[in-house]
Structure 1
């Protein structure tokens, strides 16, 4: 019988990423842990269980993981040392990059990226992109609105190179539900995919099948970009913040609820130099160079972090215990996570699947420290590991009738159940989606949406 390794010695959280209802963290020593909703395998533990507390992904031990990125219901991890990218979770539309649409409950390497040096990975709802160290961009997954930037609307089951960027060195990419944005090394901003709300920044509401260059702002070069579900956030070299797209819930931060079709300066933060941004389903977070975190937008579950559940249409300062300063933030769909300069980890917002990591399913409307991961708490000493993959109990499947739930939207959408078939993982059977049973987790609104647990 295999002996479970001892609990971790003291470690710290180096990075963190939030998905629709799950969260993944990279600890020092290249250790990856995950928690929250696990129905589609997005936690990587070999089963479909929810985890209410951070749990180490056993199968990624010794993989020298460098970074982690959450999509809505899937996860990607990058190993620079092995020049390998791993993916797992919900596989519909080829978003895992393995040449099929199967779910994966344990991480598997993406063959199409093997041996390629990757600078950055971005995950949207159903599509992914990778920037190579040479500035090339590869994309895969769902493409019904051209969000892959390949000039057509066919899904891609393996990474494909965006030819439109030949001769343009891309610095950074970001992915929303069905749109994508990029910043080039020379400070140009690009948008493509679904553009109904002006979220491409191109001055209209049209879709684009290839990257379109956003009109430059006099005196500004763009440096950072992030996408929410239907909006986009960009930061210039000077630290000025610009947003555009959908603003029904105030997620653009302009003090109103008007959509913007081109980048619009967030005047409320003009005296702050912004160094990092993140977009949620309908909320936005911005971190300034003094370690202050600002949040705004949809706040039904407290995901803005200001101590109430009222929507905010302009940036609000998020207050942390002992006035701690923040070094990194990541927005999930309805929750937010952050790391402080003291290596304490905080989460707030929706907790229904345990995605906040506090051992329960309660919502929080203000930052609450995840004790097990924080330097001022247990410092990762007592984080448990998932059991070996070969021993994983993968029979905890949720039946189609139990998967019906209300989509967390302002109106009730068509509810779609997923049918499953079994496939082997090691010596056990896990569930895979049947071809033709794909639901849709995104837009346009006229399409049936994949179910979500409210």
Structure 2
């Protein structure tokens, strides 16, 4: 059944004899044409009908011509038409094969140029422009562009042939719509894009500025929009739950907001709230909606010529029911509403039982998407190979098709389980797989580095699911191409991709890590085996992607550990470098191509601290430092005077500061220390002892640059009474210790190392430094009773400092306590010592002139400088070796018996005696050699043990009994500062 109302029109529309037309209330007419109408449309000049694939048009009355024309049948040769859309002066026709025809005002039809045989699935027509959506997800436009309604950038002229809207490439569209001089697109996920004329706010962007390119209507985000209709200068959208939003011109009440003003933002039509609207369509100055459950139609807007169908010759600014006949309400279901300039139509079909006699005449078709059924058809060879290849190319060469594939019912994320099953099935057919890989490679090359809209990035989520299941060669090639394209994305776009990654399920995110970690490991393994000596830009690309994922995991607090990212093959590479350097011993190996190649790879890896374990990073740091030293020596004549420090034990701090202030020291060279009056040669033992003594002196320094907290940790003194240079030279000394691979005898909190690495300390860091203070703050955060907080009477002050302006007048409450705690922690670690840390940091960079230490995590950097906090004494015994004796001899057994009898303090004294420092190296005692040598001499009881600190060698005279050994060893570690040290 076809119902129509509005301006006078030929009785029966030429579809049926006049006496077969029924007249209802309010000028509503209805009829049942002999030949069923499949589709119809009404514009300003024509009404068009599609019946059995053929098109008829009826010319409407105009100011120049006061007579309706006869129903005219268009001669279209062999084309069978599926859809018709009437616009301002003509119409656009869509054939079943996907061809598009244009009908001008004289009803002459011609094929549209510029589509290159693309299959069109949707068409839309405005006053002076038209749109088409193709099966592979591209939008084409043609016509006038006076207001940017073609979306082809500003100042782009109109075009009689189809032009590609490239900015929408990759966005899987569900619908297109054209109004008077504005256009809309709706994505599968419900994202709304508008462009063109905006004089009345019909784009819903909050202003009246025209847009020349598609622009996201952000206020409709999360509204789950399912359809859009454009009127002359207003727009209506329908959400999934049946809610209608309107915006734009309201001068005729066509927005339904009980007013006649324009709306620049989408606004709910309140009168329809809860009605679960199923259709909405806009005419030039009026709007129609349909409610399927009640089979009712509502109208609002311009009343002229009866186009509202409610007998009220006034403007209606709220929805009002259209007075349809009882027969129409109960026997028919409304399938399509059509609103023209001065006419309204309702196309209905009979209900048989619970179903319509005819399905929706022309359901909105969406872009082609990859699905399990399609893949099943490919791998089973049900179609010809030529047809399969064509379909594979269409799907996998279109970013829009891929972005719209495997979406969940909500359409806001992928169904990875479904995608996993489909891709696994696809790999069962090698021929199909090869073709897919070929097409994907070509598609990746053409990707836009600045795609439009978030949905255009979904293929970066979907493709890894396919790639990771491929064979090694295919997988590596596509992974390389994908990595390159991700890194080409603009920074803002990459941030959106990272947001997508942060929402992935854990198993998918871990698979993504493996996808890029595996080829990285393979490449590093090839290098370590000597199988690869070429450009390594792919390795760096993989590592950059892994770094992006690592940062996502850290920011999103995902349940990932560093182990998930570590590449163990880095150890093999370091072993190969070490072996290469040993083979080249005696040659100028610092200039060899092979060595430089390995060092170059290490320089790449150092930028990505997540990829190596602590031991590997420490080895990398040593190699890079040694190369730095060698390069420095090659650039300048080596002069021991600029790197050798002569120090008196009694005045180690004063002498060191005096020496550093001279500004002659070469920090790039390895430090050598000479103790005045002693003959020892520094082979690391003397410099280790120097730093141990120096940091002990710093703690006793009368200038008190450091203060010891309740936790026994040290922090900068915030009182500001010290000179800036004091903190600068403290930083220089700490930097020198790191650069020269020595420990500092200062127990800084982890917060210091976070700040050096430009990370922010937290409340947990404050708890490490000042446990009581931090526990009070934690109790404050855990308190639920407002009365208790009021009793505390805390304000935004800390130790006399305002945390915020007028902080002494602002009380801490339940709502602002988190801000208070954050500001408190910031004050302790940042504001109160801002000047002190800045000078310390500047000095640290001076003392350690290369920044490779930035590869370490804060915990690792702390351990490297301060040593391990764990003293595994059994490990020291297990790692010991022997000279001129064995572990089974009486002297050695007695030594270990005495050692394990020692208190913790005396054991650490022995370490200082043996190594010059009591700090345990990173990795434990296994990283430091200990050799016990038995001294056979005629008078052993008259000799003390001797330590050669440079070699970690303890020389024990062959004492006759355990008591003598105990006494001599205790004396040596307690009183011998110079004697016997080498």
TM range (shorter): 0.5 to 0.7
CA distance in 1, matches of 2:216, 2:194: 7
Q: Is the 8 A contact 1:192 1:208 kept in 2?
A: yes
Residue number in structure 1 paired with 2:236 = 285
1:344 maps to 2:285? no
In terms of fraction of residues, the more strand-rich structure is 1
Answer whether contact 1:228 1:281 (CA < 8 A) is retained. Answer: yes
What is the aligned partner in structure 1 of residue 74 from structure 2?
110
Shift of 1:56: 2.1
Q: Which runs of 4+ in 1 moved over 4 A?
A: 39-47, 101-106, 377-381
- Matching residue within 183, 186, 207 for 1:232: 183
Who is 1:175 aligned against? Answer: 125
Q: Is the 8 A contact 1:274 1:289 kept in 2?
A: yes
Q: How far apart, in 2, do the equivalents of 1:368 and 1:248 lie?
A: 27
Count how many residue pairs are aligned between Structure 1 and Structure 2: 325
- For residues 203 and 197 of structure 2, what CA distance do their matches in structure 1 show? 7
Q: Secondary structure, in 3 states, of the residue corresponding to 1:186?
A: coil
Number of the residue aligned with 1:199: 149
Deviation at residue 288 of structure 1 after TM alignment: 1.6
1:149-192 deviation digits (Å, cap 9, x = unpaired): xxxxxxx6322111322321111111111111111111111211
2:26 counterpart of 1:76? no
CA RMSD of aligned residues (A): 3.1
What is the alpha-carbon distance in structure 2 between the residues aligned to residue 73 and residue 168 of structure 1?
Answer: 29
Contact 2:296 2:329 in 1 (8 A): no
In 1, the alpha carbon distance for the partners of 2:147 and 2:325 equals 38
Give the CA deviation at 1:277: 1.0
Distance 2:128 2:95 in 1: 22
Aligned to 2:93: 130
What is the distance in 1 between the residues matched to 2:173 and 2:161? 20
**Higher relative contact order, structure no. (Cα contacts within 8 Å, ≥ 6 residues apart):** 1
> By how many angstroms is 1:360 displaced?
3.4
Residue 55 of structure 1 is matched in structure 2 by 29
Q: Using a 3 Å threshold, how does the CA distance of structure 1 residues 46 and 366 change in structure 2: closer, same or farther?
A: farther
Give the match for residue 348 of structure 2. Answer: none
Q: Higher mean Cα deviation, 273-282 or 292-301?
A: 273-282
- Residue pair 1:195, 1:207 contacting (<8 A) in 2 also: yes
Q: Is the 8 A contact 1:83 1:118 kept in 2?
A: yes
311-320 vs 257-266, which moves further: 311-320
Distance in 1 between residues matched to 2:291 and 2:56, nearest whole Å: 27
Equivalence for 1:366: 318
Secondary structure in structure 2 of the residue aligned to 1:272: coil
Scaled by the length of structure 2, the TM-score of the pair is: 0.31
Partner deviation per Cα, 1:261-308 (whole Å, 9 max, x = no partner): 000000010012222111111000111222111100000111011121
CA contact 2:138–2:165 (8 Å) conserved in 1: yes
> What residue number does 1:86 align with?
56
SS of the residue corresponding to residue 372 of structure 1 reads coil
Structure 1 unaligned residues grouped into runs of 5+: 1-30, 93-100, 143-155, 382-406, 409-454
In structure 1, which of residues 270, 295, 301 is the aligned counterpart of residue 252 of structure 2?
Answer: 301
Conservation of the 8 A alpha-carbon contact between 1:34 and 1:43? no
Say which one has the larger Rg.
2
SS in structure 2 at match of 1:216: helix
TM-score (norm 1): 0.65
State the alpha-carbon separation in 2 of the partners of residues 43 and 164 from structure 1: 35
- Give the direction of change, closer, same or farther, for the CA distance of 1:186–1:374 in structure 2 (3 Å limit): farther
- Measured in 2, the distance between the counterparts of 1:200 and 1:322 equals 34
Q: 1:135 to 1:347 in 2, by over 3 A?
A: same
**Structure 2 counterpart of 1:356:** 308
Unaligned 5+ residue runs, structure 2?
19-24, 333-340, 343-982
Secondary structure at the counterpart of residue 163 of structure 1: coil
Q: Distance in 1 between matches of 2:127 and 2:282?
A: 13
Q: How many Å apart are 1:63 and its aligned residue?
A: 1.5
Cα distance change, pair 374–288 in 1 and its aligned pair in 2 (3 A): farther
2:108 partner SS: strand
Query: Match of 1:247, SS?
Result: coil
Seen in structure 2, the aligned counterparts of structure 1 residues 218 and 62 have a Cα distance that, compared at 3 Å, is: closer
